[in-house]
Amino acid sequence: MIDRFVAQRLGFALLILTALVVIMPILFVVGIIVAWGASAVNWEFLSAMPSDGMKAGGIFPTIIGTLLLMLGTAMASIPVGVGGAIYLAEYARDTWLTRAIRLAIVNLAGIPSVVYGLFGLGLFVLFLQFGTSIAAGALTLAIMTIPVIISTAEEALRAVPTEFRTIIASLGGTRWQGIQRVVLPQALPGIITGIILGLLRAAGETAPILFTVAAFYLPRLPQSPFDPTMALPYHLYVISTQVPGMPLEVQYGTALVLLTLVLSMNLVATVIRSYFRRRRQW
Amino acid sequence: MVDAKIRIQQLSYAYAGEEALRNVTLDVQANAITALFGPAGGGKTTLLRLINRLNDLVEETSMRGSILLDGEDIYAPGTDVPELRRRVGMVFALPLPLPGTIRENVVCGPQLAGVRDWARLEEILERSLAQAALWNEVKDRLDSPAIALSGGQQQRLCIARSLALEPEVLLLDEPTSGLDPISTGKVEESLFELKQQYTIVIVPHSVQQAARVADYAAFFLMGELIEVQEGNQIFTTPRDQRTEDYVTGRFG
């Protein structure tokens, strides 16, 4: 029989080990990308068009493309996602319809991203004749983002105590007035966090933009929402697999830019959440 | 008892088949304090929440009978429920200020009703806080967070929040249950002031409080109204054996 204290020590050691196993890959990934890519990143890399078969110059159009895609995705997914969450959390009763909606949301979140890509190709690019364009790509990414926004926003809305709604009702307020005046402001940090996390996932995705928007190489920036564009994740895929003789530091430099973009948005989400949590009054 | 402010007629009510009120008939007089008392689960809170239709928010309920306010059935189709709730204010057992400042809490109701005039809101603010006996304590910090007030102050703030709408009826559900004796005394004192102007229905948190504040006292037991009497008579000469058992502390 093992001594109880020894057993406890062993247990702790095992748990710490598992925690370290979680952290190690992240440290490795970030470490290697920074170590091998940092030398490639400078102002020219960020602000110049690619040249010499993308082996030299910069990745400016891919950054712009990803930012434009994010903007379009946000514009399409935030109103639908937040509106849907308000409906589900504040208005919907438990009927077969709302149960079906919830089931759909859960299942949407589980669909592989390449399937979204094919769906976007069929619906937006071909059927609606948007062509390979920012509009088609952003809408495809939005469909992928909406379930994330709806479920996190609904959770945030439900976390606001019911009593606030009762008080507003008792003061002669309508349900919508209660939502506007108390519920939404209180749920806002949670909703914003959900939005950013959803957009983050979309920012790094390659498969959904593969067929809908991404261009291998474009000599100029997109001029309208119906132009195709280069985008960071797809560019990374292209230069890593499709272009022979691509300098390693350009690949890692591109990865570093993508990683920085995503992590900094993540940081913003964390800061917003902790800022509002400190100001919360219940 | 012809010109009762509120007439509750043969009211029965159930939550998902669970009976909460059985055939209750009660007249509530204007400018008086009516206390609904009795052991927990007697249906007192349910009755309060029916008078301003807050129980509309609860699903799967059934109701028979009627409640008349100034002779009009408040459950008649086409009733303007927000307007009804402005006429019949409610103070809850747990004082819970809305997020925001003292000022924002008090003027919330009038703002929801569409009052935008700044001077008018200021006037409402001072009058309501004074009526709730809170003005002197908070007049120098109207813009500080309401949550920073003490429990007793928060409850008086909640009363002021209801009074801001100048309701005709004020419903209070154990408004002093979480308060110390001194705060309780202040709340009770303000009730005596308020009854000059308002019709007050209170669920007191003890028999003693019922005896202190009631102009009319109604004893509820398991969903039934056992008896109602004027003044303190119910506590000294109850007609029903069950009332006597309760007020003398034999159960409850």
pLDDT attached to residue A132 = 84
Chain A residues in contact with B165 by the CB 8 A cut-off are 171-172
Residues 6 or more apart whose CB falls under 8 angstroms from that of B120 comprise B110
| Rounded Cα distance, B43 and B221, in Å | 8
Task: Copy the structure tokens of residue B84.
Answer: 């009804």
Best probe of the A interface among B57, B60, B96, B112, by most A CBs < 10 A, is B112
Q: CB-CB: which of A169, A182, A280 is closest to B54? A: A169
Residues of chain A with pLDDT under 50: none
pLDDT attached to residue B69 = 93
Q: CB-CB: which of B85, B94, B97 is closest to A170? A: B85
A266, HSE (Cβ side, Cα atoms, 13 Å): 11
Residues 6 or more apart whose CB falls under 8 angstroms from that of B1 comprise B27, B29
What counts of helices (H) and strands (E) characterise chain A?
12, 2
Place of tokens 């102002």: A43
Q: CB-CB: which of A93, A172, A186 is closest to B99? A: A186
A165–B112 C-beta distance less than 8 A: no
Best probe of the B interface among A93, A168, A170, A181, by most B CBs < 10 A, is A170
Q: What is the pLDDT of residues B31-80, one digit of tens each?
A: 999 999 999 888 999 999 999 999 988 888 899 999 999 999 999 999 99
What confidence category does residue B95 fall into, taking pLDDT thresholds of 50, 70 and 90? confident
The Cα of A26 is separated from the nearest Cα of chain B by a number of Å equal to: 40
Give the chain B residue nearest A183 (alpha carbons).
Answer: B99
B108–A170 C-beta distance less than 8 A: no
B147–A170 C-beta distance less than 8 A: no
Please state the rounded mean pLDDT for residues B228-242: 89
pLDDT attached to residue B91 = 93
Asked whether residue B162 carries a pLDDT value surpassing 60, the answer given is: yes
- Count of other CB atoms within 10 angstroms of residue A37: 22
Please state the rounded mean pLDDT for residues B96-105: 92
B99–A185 C-beta distance less than 8 A: yes
Q: CB-CB: which of B52, B98, B113 is closest to A164? A: B98
Task: Copy the structure tokens of residue B176.
Answer: 């002093």
B99–A182 C-beta distance less than 8 A: yes
Place of tokens 């003005």: B135
User: For all residues of chain B together, what is the average pLDDT?
Assistant: 91
Place of tokens 């028979």: B64
B94–A163 C-beta distance less than 8 A: yes
Asked whether residue B24 carries a pLDDT value surpassing 70, the answer given is: yes
Task: Compute φ and ψ for A69, nearest 5 degrees.
Answer: -60, -40
Which of B90, B74, B97, B102 lies closest to B165, judged by CA?
B90
Chain A residues in contact with B89 by the CB 8 A cut-off are 170-171
pLDDT attached to residue A239 = 86
Q: Are strands B6-15 and B61-69 parallel, antiparallel or unpaired?
A: antiparallel
The Cα of A100 is separated from the nearest Cα of chain B by a number of Å equal to: 21
Category of A52 on φ-ψ map: left (φ > 0), alpha (ψ -120 to 50) or beta: left
Q: CB-CB: which of A161, A172, A280 is closest to B82? A: A172
Q: CB-CB: which of B57, B82, B96 is closest to A173? A: B82
B110 or B41, greater pLDDT: B110
Q: What residue ranges do the domains of chain A occupy?
A: 58-279
β-pair partners for B63: B13
For domain B6-95+170-247, give the fold. Answer: Rossmann fold (3.40.50)
A163–B96 C-beta distance less than 8 A: yes
Contact A93/B at CB under 8 A: yes
A181–B92 C-beta distance less than 8 A: no
Which of A53, A69, A52 lies closest to A232, judged by CA?
A69
The H-assigned helical ranges of B12-72 are 44-51
pLDDT attached to residue A208 = 87
| Rounded Cα distance, A135 and B249, in Å | 75
What confidence category does residue B159 fall into, taking pLDDT thresholds of 50, 70 and 90? very high
Task: Compute φ and ψ for B172, nearest 5 degrees.
Answer: -125, 120
Contact A177/B at CB under 8 A: yes
The Cα of A147 is separated from the nearest Cα of chain B by a number of Å equal to: 28
Best probe of the B interface among A171, A174, A186, A279, by most B CBs < 10 A, is A171
What confidence category does residue B1 fall into, taking pLDDT thresholds of 50, 70 and 90? very low
Least confident interval from A60-64, A181-185, B125-129, B200-204: A60-64
β-pair partners for B89: B170
Give the global pTM: 0.83
Please state the rounded mean pLDDT for residues B97-101: 91
For domain A58-279, give the fold. Answer: MetI-like fold (1.10.3720)
| Rounded Cα distance, B19 and B12, in Å | 8
